[in-house]
Amino acid sequence: MGNGDIYKIFRSKCKAFETISLRASPDESFRSPPKMPERDHRDHCLADPISYNMETILPLTPEQDFPINYGKDTLNQTTREPDISLKGLRHSAAHVLAQAVKRLFPSAQVGIGPATEEGFYYDFHFDRPFSPEDLEKIEAEMKAIIASRSPIVRRALSREEAGDLFSSKGEDFKLEILHGIPEEAEITVYDQGDFTDLCRGPHLSDTGEIGAVKLLSSSGAYWKGIESNPSLQRIYGTAFPTQKELDDYLERLEEIRQRDHRKLGKELGFFRTLDEKGAGMVLWLPRGARIRRVIEDIWKIRHDRHGYQYVYTPHIARLDLWKQSGHWDFYRDSMFSPMEIEGSEFELKPMNCPFHILISRESIQSYRDLPVRLAELGTVYRYERSGTLHGLLRVRGFTQDDAHIFCRPEDIATEIGKVLKLVDEMLLPFGFTNRSVYLSTRPEGSVGSDENWELATRALEEALRTAGIPYEIDPGEGVFYGPKIDMKFHDVLGRTWQLSTIQVDFNLPEKFDLTYRDASGKDVRPIMIHRALLGSVERFFGILVEHFKGAFPLWLAPEQVTILTIGRPAYSLCRENRPLPRGFGAQGVDRLQE
């Protein structure tokens, strides 16, 4: 039954019935129902929204309906090369910021001032926070320094000369940096006018080459990021070669502010965070919960098609489990403190994988039992410092779309290939067609044999190449127990979000002594594959809110039908018929308005 059919039903029931409004977002103005092409999966609505049928809105082969754009065109890249010229420009702008602050506030001590992906910052030790008025004065002074076209000169100094220089200036933080430089390393400073900074460079030849600058904000920070160290004032800014590029960037920042999921989530009634009753915890309101339900329904359907078995695991277990798995040793700082129950220490689960290992032992006996694919929308708890919490993107309690695959070593590439296909089937309908893919290799401090690492890395490479997916090598960024594939998706503003990850693990099966009997009767240890498609439901929802600016596709919107009436008799009649659209699967007939 389509939009027109429902309209005719209500029109025939009530002459005073005005219209049915189908909306992509609750803040969108009322309009007549759009004419929708029949079964056009390429449309963002994906299907007639009144027919809420997951088999209809989720095509079996989404890659045919949503073209995928990758960050690179080649099938293998070694590293990402940064834009050296822009990085040098912003690094030089950071030095100009420090020079301006020292001119206006001579008692301020300078810390560090690196270039970042979006701009630059500089840390200062000062007796008070910098006000917005301070930032305006500092920015004006920076522009004066840029206009002066002061040469930026590199000098090499001995350790003693550098020590005397910064001691005479009272720059204690620079002296600490100097003492941390290896004995064999060259020590260099950069001079620009009346300012000298300890720095390796590179920099522009003079301040006039910097172009356009803008100071954005200031905040508190700790020296070297350690809470027990002195508190500093950090000033953020950005710089571009031309004013037009800067203006375009500032316009983009304003658009990002308008899309902030914390702002929209409150305005649209999606969720609340328990800032006073439990920071980092989320309350899902009915409208947000409806969207979450759709996301989870899609997730379940996709996993059904790929042969996963659903499991449910406890939120708490004895601390011994996390010690056996190794999480207590490697992730203790990100775990909540244990609690004592009847003389034993218990721990809120930070991850689902140890439980999945225990479940797999119940079903894996022979090679004929493999592969085993276990999936769970499991809530986990991790300790995040209060200063790092950020809406739904950084929380303390969240639901992972978690799954673990147990397979034979020779089947790693095949199983990884299936996961890569599942990533497309899950994420493409939500509009994430632009992505970058990275293969992260063995880090320092890893566990396992060279043979296992080589086997797993080759399998990941084989799966990516077989799927025709361009990727880059991210050296040394694998997890301690195995290599991984990270998939970073780009939203409508070009921002990058880490979503899907696929990790090979030969460590946990060994810690839990997990084995199966192969065709020759020999006990063999299976390979464990960790994988998440969304990362977490909370974070994915926050990203979706910003991606769509709250105006969700009609099939995903929390409210799809609103009945407008004129007069009390019409209201009463429509109230009696209100359940009718729900019977046809409408996402929500939430409001009946007189």
Residues recognised as catalytic: 353, 382, 400, 402, 404, 484, 530
| Distance between first and last Cα of the chain | 26
Candidates 555, 563, 551; CA nearest to 589 is 563
Can you read off the two tokens belonging to residue 308? 């996963």
Q: How many CB atoms lie within 10 A of CB 34?
A: 11
Can you read off the two tokens belonging to residue 302? 């996709």
Helix axes 132-147, 84-104, angle to 10 degrees: 110
Candidates 206, 105, 191; CA nearest to 148 is 206
Write down the residue that tokens 């990203």 correspond to.
543
Would the CA dihedral through 8, 11, 13, 17 be positive or negative?
A: positive
Candidates 488, 509, 531; CA nearest to 400 is 531
- Whether residue 321 contacts residue 354, with contact meaning beta carbons closer than 8 Å, is answered with yes
Can you read off the two tokens belonging to residue 28? 């969108």
Q: What strands lie across the sheet with 120-125, from one edge to the other? A: 109-110, 120-125, 231-240, 212-222
Candidates 63, 73, 66; CA nearest to 437 is 73
Between CA 111 and CA 152 the distance in angstroms is 19
Write down the residue that tokens 């375009």 correspond to.
248
CA distances from residue 448 to 96, 403, 441, 531 in whole angstroms, order as listed: 48, 22, 13, 20
Can you read off the two tokens belonging to residue 522? 């020999």
HEC letters along 136-167: HHHHHHHHHHHHCCCECEEEEECHHHHHHHHH
CA distances from residue 251 to 255, 257, 536 in whole angstroms, order as listed: 6, 10, 30
**Amino acid identity, position 53:** N
Give the residues across from 120 on adjacent strands: 115, 237
Candidates 97, 99, 88; CA nearest to 195 is 99
Candidates 284, 252, 258; CA nearest to 271 is 284
Can you read off the two tokens belonging to residue 206? 């003079």
Between CA 443 and CA 475 the distance in angstroms is 8
- Whether residue 195 contacts residue 113, with contact meaning beta carbons closer than 8 Å, is answered with no
Can you read off the two tokens belonging to residue 86? 């822009």
Measure the CA dihedral 379/385/386/390, to 10°. Answer: -60
Write down the residue that tokens 């960790």 correspond to.
530
Between CA 177 and CA 500 the distance in angstroms is 38
